[in-house]
Structure 1
Amino acid sequence: MNIVEIDQQEKVIIRELIKNPKISDNQISKNTKVPVKTVNRKRKILEKRGIINYFTCLNNGIDGTGRFTAKQQYIITFKYGITRSSIIEKIGKEMPRLIELKHIADCSVGDKDGHAIIAMTIESRVESDIIEVFNAEILPKLKRLLGEDAVIKTDVLTFNSHFIIMHNYMPLINMRNGKIKEEWSDDLVFVD
């Protein structure tokens, strides 16, 4: 894997976007003294190279919509012989049903002690529903795609709230009105 070098102008542009994803190129230019045409050109290059991405984070938790007040992370361990790439390939070929996406807040593939794993955060209205979602919807699909005996262990952790998201966002500390607080120091915004 090659490390992509980010120049100083790109770093200040990215820092502004981290602080406020809705910021205009004109405002970035004003804040950073980088010419607006340079901001526009570099931003497009960063987007095209996949270095910056945009998405909306909908807070369905108790301090948001209140739709999902319970959250658990399932760490699903697979038997030897099932690889991370086979998990991604088989699950990626079959589009998840809407009901599964509704409850899956995030999902990552990794490894532990020589086994491939999936770490999946499942949300629901009440904690007791999460085990039903997992056993009735998610686990049967994993078994169908990867084999009836594919899953050898499941660990479950209960979470109450996100503390840090994507290096920079601390909803309980430095966020206000959908962006990082104005008074939050630029030195505390990680870009590298």
Structure 2
Amino acid sequence: MADLVSEYDSVNLYNFLYPRRKDFSPYFVQYLDFWYADERNHADGFFELNRLIFGTGEVELVDALKRRVGDFSGLEDILSSEFNLLLLFAYDEYVSVKTYKKDTFYQGFGHAGFNNWIKNLIADEAIHFGNAVKILKTFHADKLHQAESVLNAIAGFEGEAYKNTFLFDHDGPHFLLESDEVGGAVIDEILSILRKR
């Protein structure tokens, strides 16, 4: 359920950013649309897993999801520019790849289809990371010297309670990264990738 709700909450982030589309480059708008389509697909998959494996009623699940509201208070500075948002997506998707790779929960269901599905989900998250990096390097190269300070501000939100924003959903039962595997470690890895030609 934790994986379902965090993937479902992409609707809250997408709807929060949607009114600002005119302020974003066409490349980032396209990024958002493809990202959102993938995250909705992930949510649909987790929805089916909850319904089929745990016998959760479809109406009950839909009602629970529709009641979710994102609280973006305190994130205004991080969400203030396309550059910051791309770094935020890069950070969040990188962390998602790392934690999903460590999660063996879905291997216990006894069917290869579950493993294939979760591997495809991880590949999607890696593509989201890679595409954010490509846009940063291609269209925001003049600002990359600011990346470390922005990433440090982003990592400052680690450890706070999840607010249904899709972002920083790192307090669920399937979040398997230790404190030394997020924050500074992720920042160093992202900066190293951004510096590569």
TM-score (norm 1): 0.25
Higher gyration radius (CA): 1
Q: Of Structure 1 and Structure 2, which has the larger fraction of its residues in strand?
A: 1
Q: Of Structure 1 and Structure 2, which has the larger fraction of its residues in helix?
A: 2
TM-score (norm 2): 0.25
Greater relative contact order, per chain length (Cα 8 Å cut-off, separation 6+): 2
